[in-house]
Structure 1
């Protein structure tokens, strides 16, 4: 009997679509198609053609942007205004991928620096790395698909894309658009499968590169199972810390941090989670931050006034509720929120001074909860901010340039925002975690470069 997966609208749990899953017996066919395309270089798509395909893809996406917005909302539950921003980003991402193709170039390596290196000229060129297996997450179903698919196509690699089981429709829509834009058959295969089948696929020795966005537990496990020589980029989450000094500008800071904390109900890998506030202004900060949080509208993501939608599944609401209750039992004070609204929505919640061993302090919450911790010594606050194994993006709010530079230097993060929230991102900047938060670097151009490898050519001639 054919296995299927049901796509559910997170807000009211209504059925959106039911789709078939592939099983282990289909993996061989999928990889053979990709291998045959890559091994015969006459199949490779020339650079000008890749540019044409991606440019037309961006054009078609823009034409169908409203359709893509509604599709993303129906499967992911992100509010309309944020889903609209995601689709705009995704279109820009495809354009960035097309533009970067012209930058895939090598360099001349100097010869003649020793007697043994006389009469030679050497240069490097960039080649596609090979078959890319991409495993994606649910929280940005179209934009993440672009970051894994458009980059592979730009690099010249056949790609097998496994979207999150909860949000596959945006990836499938992108695949249809790419096909319409002229992408030859087989260069993109979207597969829906269970975890065992996915593991069989990505750990096959024919896969040259694994792009994984999702939980650290799964990502590091898959990396440990990769075939020798398979490269990888893993993007996991963090518990994004913020340092707020006494001279911070409240007018700019409060709306920024509220957006960074509750965007997509906190289901963002760099969502504001732990805010360390100088004791001198902590009461004022807590009052203003909680007042702004209370004004957020929680509701149906199709309503254009909604600020915070549903969590991806009711199970996640249960988990967030358990973590908040545990924090309260251990001494945290609920400033606002703290309770479920329904089976699918949780109140935007502000907790004051949870214990250091509470789950909200030690794990990525991935829900609409922000924790505030007062401090008297900034170095101690930074030490606490760095204490976890996960290090991704962080932030500091101050008008003192020396304090800003000192904090940027001391925070363990791949990126530190000064006077901006931790979830800031544009798709042409490097983006990724360090330590337990990931390996490799995302961002359109950075991903494309990771999906290529260098080849050096050395000519020897007495005329050189």
Structure 2
């Protein structure tokens, strides 16, 4: 008999919920239900029904905004103010998916360009690809789920969503809202488990047409290598986002943005500003200003409105981040701020000049830490910024247009933010990791394209 998955409050490890977990039999049943729903083409939902369901779900989520925000703060540890923003984005994301259907279609393919193609009319249509298996992450337990299930519903793919084992409640509850909005459960099911072998069986099942994975690169690339023949995928991993601060940058203006980009959700963001390359002419002034600003951040219980930095998702993560910081300090880095508030919560800190081979310089920290490195030549900073085997979003802060454009052209990133932090994102823009940071393109309209197949129809109109 399936057991319940216990869900703990991230901040104080209090038990807050027990969610029924799925076993192998439940997984097989859910995959069978989804596959049968897709196979019955006469029962596919027309676009106007999909739009209406997504819009109704958006309205229901707006009515439940405060409940979902508190849920996110409790199970995920995201400060309540930021959790409210996450719910607001999710509300808009559902509308975004519905609106995109107004322009989601095929195109005419020119015929008559050769003698052999005369008397023909060709065009493409969009069709849902098939069953979507979605594996989500803990750090945005509602909005990441929306980015995976809303495009699937909009396109017409049956979707089964597996939330992170630490944060399943938001996922289960948004599925219920979609059902309440009129979506038959066959078209959106949840799959709750903390069994990695079962999760692998889910992702690699032959009935899955598309895998949407958000999580670690190690797991994502492994699953891609095991996919059933014909299964397509999108992988969203992380990185160690670089930020270049040119000597022309106005420190009074930019530091607040960098702090937001580096310490938002305690740094547990795949594009968190981690490696700050600062021109030597302003290094001292920048470091002092940054450390002072970081020192004012209010750390504590994420359910309180005044909290700006909450806990890490698990106590073992605080141990990991603390050990990485210690390693860098022991190797010569200078730590500004920091320390431990509790077993779950680290005080934000800054490391000045950690060695290039330290883990904080080579790997994604996913904690409340930024690292500051001095540079004298822009191209050298760009070279080091590009040296890691992953690349996602990057930033350049400069009042000099020539410097900004040079960095924008040469930074290896899918997006370069000029005078903004690396964690900036809207839900309709393309969002993609390069190299080990990901595969495919995220963002609601872009994911809809990835989950759909083009079908060409050619008429030979011989009279």
Q: TM-score band (shorter)?
A: over 0.9
Residues 337-348 of structure 1: pairs in structure 2 closer than 5 A: 337=338, 339-348=339-348
Secondary structure, in 3 states, of the residue corresponding to 1:112? coil
Equivalent residue number for residue 323 of structure 1: 324
The answer as to whether partners of 2:19 and 2:168 remain within 8 angstroms in 1 is no
Matched, 1:309 2:307: no
Residues 18-417 of structure 1: pairs in structure 2 closer than 5 A: 18-193=18-193, 194-337=195-338, 339-417=339-417
Secondary structure, in 3 states, of the residue corresponding to 1:303? coil
**Counterpart Cα distance in 1 of 2:14 and 2:155:** 39
Secondary structure, in 3 states, of the residue corresponding to 1:346? coil
Secondary structure, in 3 states, of the residue corresponding to 2:186? coil
What's the offset of the Cα at 1:341? 1.5
Secondary structure, in 3 states, of the residue corresponding to 1:81? helix
What's the offset of the Cα at 1:185? 2.5
What's the offset of the Cα at 1:21? 1.7
**Counterpart Cα distance in 2 of 1:70 and 1:404:** 40
**Counterpart Cα distance in 2 of 1:307 and 1:442:** 27
What's the offset of the Cα at 1:371? 0.1
What's the offset of the Cα at 1:4? 2.9
Equivalent residue number for residue 438 of structure 1: 438
Secondary structure, in 3 states, of the residue corresponding to 1:273? strand
**Counterpart Cα distance in 2 of 1:54 and 1:39:** 22
What's the offset of the Cα at 1:5? 1.8
Equivalent residue number for residue 10 of structure 2: 10
What's the offset of the Cα at 1:74? 1.3
What's the offset of the Cα at 1:101? 1.2
Alignment deviations for residues 258-300 of structure 1 (CA, whole Å, 9 cap, x no partner)? 0110000000000000000000000000000000000001010
Give the length in aligned residue pairs.
Answer: 462
Alignment deviations for residues 228-268 of structure 1 (CA, whole Å, 9 cap, x no partner)? 11110000001000010000011221000001100000000
Q: TM-score, normalised by structure 1?
A: 0.99
Segments of structure 1 that go 5 or more residues without pairing to the other structure are none
What's the offset of the Cα at 1:137? 0.2
Secondary structure, in 3 states, of the residue corresponding to 1:334? strand
The alignment yields a C-alpha RMSD, in angstroms, of 0.8
**Counterpart Cα distance in 2 of 1:261 and 1:61:** 29
Secondary structure, in 3 states, of the residue corresponding to 2:399? coil
What's the offset of the Cα at 1:19? 2.0
Alignment deviations for residues 127-167 of structure 1 (CA, whole Å, 9 cap, x no partner)? 00110000000000000110001110001000010000000
Which runs of structure 1 show a deviation greater than 6 angstroms over 4 or more consecutive aligned residues?
none
Segments of structure 2 that go 5 or more residues without pairing to the other structure are none
Q: TM-score, normalised by structure 2?
A: 0.99
Secondary structure, in 3 states, of the residue corresponding to 1:186? helix
Secondary structure, in 3 states, of the residue corresponding to 2:429? coil
Secondary structure, in 3 states, of the residue corresponding to 2:413? coil
What's the offset of the Cα at 1:27? 2.2
**Counterpart Cα distance in 2 of 1:171 and 1:275:** 34
Secondary structure, in 3 states, of the residue corresponding to 2:299? coil
The answer as to whether partners of 2:27 and 2:191 remain within 8 angstroms in 1 is no
Alignment deviations for residues 87-123 of structure 1 (CA, whole Å, 9 cap, x no partner)? 0011011110010111211011011111111111100
The answer as to whether partners of 2:258 and 2:421 remain within 8 angstroms in 1 is yes
Alignment deviations for residues 53-91 of structure 1 (CA, whole Å, 9 cap, x no partner)? 000011111011011111111110100100011000110
**Counterpart Cα distance in 2 of 1:358 and 1:116:** 64
Alignment deviations for residues 196-236 of structure 1 (CA, whole Å, 9 cap, x no partner)? 11111110111000000000000000000001111100000
**Counterpart Cα distance in 2 of 1:96 and 1:195:** 33
**Counterpart Cα distance in 1 of 2:24 and 2:221:** 22
Alignment deviations for residues 350-396 of structure 1 (CA, whole Å, 9 cap, x no partner)? 00000000000000000001000000111111110001011000000
**Counterpart Cα distance in 2 of 1:185 and 1:311:** 33
What's the offset of the Cα at 1:6? 1.1
What's the offset of the Cα at 1:34? 0.4
Secondary structure, in 3 states, of the residue corresponding to 2:347? coil
Alignment deviations for residues 392-424 of structure 1 (CA, whole Å, 9 cap, x no partner)? 000000011111111011100000000000000
Secondary structure, in 3 states, of the residue corresponding to 1:170? helix
